[in-house]
Structure 1
């Protein structure tokens, strides 16, 4: 049996090139016996194709227990796997241009998914010059059309507005917004429009323990509605209210932003606005893989929606 025959069978071209099922089976049995696995890099070089999509994600949180990166990543992985591709996560903590340049030098990419961020603009130009199909994702705002095969975003304000329209806000006297560090995103705007007098608190981090100090002070001052920037902060607020014997939602209502699947919101009955970052990742990966056949770039903004549970009162 020739080397060429073995190579073609192991690279999945047996049927295409007309090899008999018996021949293909004999090659695979022999390969399994010696533990041979075809190298993806060599296959990409031989057939001028790659199955690797890079996920470039700048500005990662200090704790990867926060769901945004993991949710985007798993969405990308699921969509890529369903289409015979693989995701290479590339967190960016240094100069984005240098990180992307090094990745292009070391890996043959089929495409890239990038978080839309001003720091990524030079790197985006490099990807464009390198003819790498690229999808840009904005996890905290609407899609902004630009270079690449797709521009995707999330309408954060819509779900918060939906929540406020459905819960009892008429009797609210001391509303509080509790956020973590970083820039203030669109999710806060509808709350401040509804409650211009709202107290804005910033915790030291985005985890439940970070919420406790700020929440304690606000509860002492009579806060009767908390909106937290993510589910973990909402959990911290609920813990404080429970310790202080406050009735939820009778005395104090609480809702958060995130509602990650299998996360704390559903488990604890926390009302939360669904943040579709998993769907965003899946759509981005699919757009990169299928973008070559699209007549024009995909520009889509995904909606958020309110999931009311036991920590809020209906209007």
Structure 2
């Protein structure tokens, strides 16, 4: 009796599957690529043969049929900050759930020329779409201006909305943080911001400023860090903070440095100074004191990015503008009412 898979030691091919299922190899191809006009009974027979032979179709062969590689290029900044890495992770989860593979490439966060080279390399690999995680305004402008033959989706925070852009609502998250501090009695609310060129930082500064204006509170010029705990520590030794003040910090990592600097200055948190961060990193609840912060929903962001990719790639649909994903204020022990 002849083995249906062919010679021993050889991986099964599409013709082996067709022979075992009693159909043409074109029918097997239609089943593999989920095309219509295949009777359910025939489809079931082909799928059974694929499982029996442990057949794995060649990505190159599938691309020839569908003109798609089911691969998405993901361009991320060459940094290890919590936000960008979380976006990339959850996008990968969403892509895998949709049976797409992701070709991830990192490039300097603030180098448009390097981004252009990365894009050219991904196009040569025939990716179906490119997703950009953008943390610098110069790169955001470049990506906005790209005219590619494939869909582009951008994860970035900006007041200039676009159907291509998916974001978390940094602006309203910042306003919620400042509102919390104002409602518990603080009238002097400082801001330790992220980099001047970071879209997230820009939106958080804008939210901080507008909420202070809504409460008619003094606006002290913000100081700018680089998202790191080290910069939070350095600036925490320099800012003009005094008992009764509050500090809205651009992210949780800088908050960690600030807490250390304030402790060295003899200022107690929250007895003397309230501190609130942004991101809700996994360590935030275990700091001393546990950090009040603004949580971002990176899982929903990753899913929304993938939804846009699917609409553009599989449905050839026109992308529509999305409302930024809401944030959530998490109140812990680093803030407290002034009259307590």
- Please state which band the TM-score falls in when normalised by the shorter chain: 0.7 to 0.9
Q: Do the aligned partners of residues 160 and 47 (structure 1) sit closer, same or farther apart at CA in structure 2, a change above 3 Å counting?
A: closer
Q: Do the aligned partners of residues 18 and 154 (structure 1) sit closer, same or farther apart at CA in structure 2, a change above 3 Å counting?
A: closer
Alignment counterpart, residue 154 of structure 2, candidates 125, 129, 136: 136
Q: Secondary structure at the match of 1:298?
A: coil
Matched, 1:257 2:278: yes
The unaligned stretches of length 5 or more in structure 1 are 32-36
- Summarize deviations over 1:31-85 as a string: whole Å, max 9, x none: 7xxxxx654234323443321111234xx26x41x11221111121111111111
TM-score, scaled relative to structure 2: 0.73
Alignment counterpart, residue 53 of structure 2, candidates 24, 27, 30: 27
Matched, 1:73 2:88: yes
Q: Distance between the aligned counterparts of 1:185 and 1:310, measured in 2?
A: 27
Matched, 1:83 2:98: yes
Alignment counterpart, residue 6 of structure 1, candidates 1, 16, 21: 16
Q: Which residue of 1 aligns with 2:329?
A: 306
Q: Do the aligned partners of residues 18 and 180 (structure 1) sit closer, same or farther apart at CA in structure 2, a change above 3 Å counting?
A: closer
Query: Is the contact made by 2:246 and 2:275 (CA closer than 8 Å) also made in structure 1?
Result: yes
CA-CA distance at 1:25 after TM superposition? 4.6
More divergent stretch after superposition (4-13 vs 182-191) = 4-13
**1:157-196 alignment runs, 5 A limit:** 157-168=171-182, 171-172=185-186, 174-183=188-197, 184-193=201-210, 194=212, 195-196=217-218
Query: Is the contact made by 2:293 and 2:329 (CA closer than 8 Å) also made in structure 1?
Result: yes
Q: Do the aligned partners of residues 208 and 11 (structure 1) sit closer, same or farther apart at CA in structure 2, a change above 3 Å counting?
A: farther
Higher relative contact order (CA 8 A, sep 6+): 1
- Summarize deviations over 1:251-294 as a string: whole Å, max 9, x none: 1000012224xx23233221112233442232111221234438
CA-CA distance at 1:231 after TM superposition? 0.6
Q: Do the aligned partners of residues 7 and 161 (structure 1) sit closer, same or farther apart at CA in structure 2, a change above 3 Å counting?
A: same
Q: Which residue of 2 aligns with 1:109?
A: 127
Q: Do the aligned partners of residues 270 and 215 (structure 1) sit closer, same or farther apart at CA in structure 2, a change above 3 Å counting?
A: same
Q: Distance between the aligned counterparts of 1:67 and 1:53, measured in 2?
A: 22
Q: Distance between the aligned counterparts of 1:21 and 1:38, measured in 2?
A: 12
Query: Is the contact made by 1:159 and 1:273 (CA closer than 8 Å) also made in structure 2?
Result: yes
- Summarize deviations over 1:117-176 as a string: whole Å, max 9, x none: 101134x31x2xx2x2332332x2346225xxx432332121222233233557536432
Query: Is the contact made by 2:189 and 2:246 (CA closer than 8 Å) also made in structure 1?
Result: yes
Q: Secondary structure at the match of 1:88?
A: strand
TM-score, scaled relative to structure 1: 0.78
Query: Is the contact made by 1:143 and 1:299 (CA closer than 8 Å) also made in structure 2?
Result: no
Alignment counterpart, residue 40 of structure 1, candidates 48, 59, 82: 59
Q: Which residue of 1 aligns with 2:229?
A: 208
The unaligned stretches of length 5 or more in structure 2 are 7-12, 22-27, 33-40, 135-139
Q: Do the aligned partners of residues 13 and 197 (structure 1) sit closer, same or farther apart at CA in structure 2, a change above 3 Å counting?
A: closer
Q: Distance between the aligned counterparts of 2:47 and 2:62, measured in 1?
A: 22
Q: Do the aligned partners of residues 83 and 16 (structure 1) sit closer, same or farther apart at CA in structure 2, a change above 3 Å counting?
A: farther
Matched, 1:293 2:315: yes
**Relative to total residues, which structure has the larger strand share, 1 or 2?**
1
Q: Secondary structure at the match of 1:217?
A: coil
Q: Distance between the aligned counterparts of 1:166 and 1:222, measured in 2?
A: 18
Q: Distance between the aligned counterparts of 1:16 and 1:266, measured in 2?
A: 55
Q: Do the aligned partners of residues 88 and 4 (structure 1) sit closer, same or farther apart at CA in structure 2, a change above 3 Å counting?
A: closer
Q: Do the aligned partners of residues 41 and 173 (structure 1) sit closer, same or farther apart at CA in structure 2, a change above 3 Å counting?
A: same
**1:209-228 alignment runs, 5 A limit:** 209-218=230-239, 224-228=245-249
RMSD after superposition: 3.2
Q: Distance between the aligned counterparts of 2:131 and 2:309, measured in 1?
A: 8
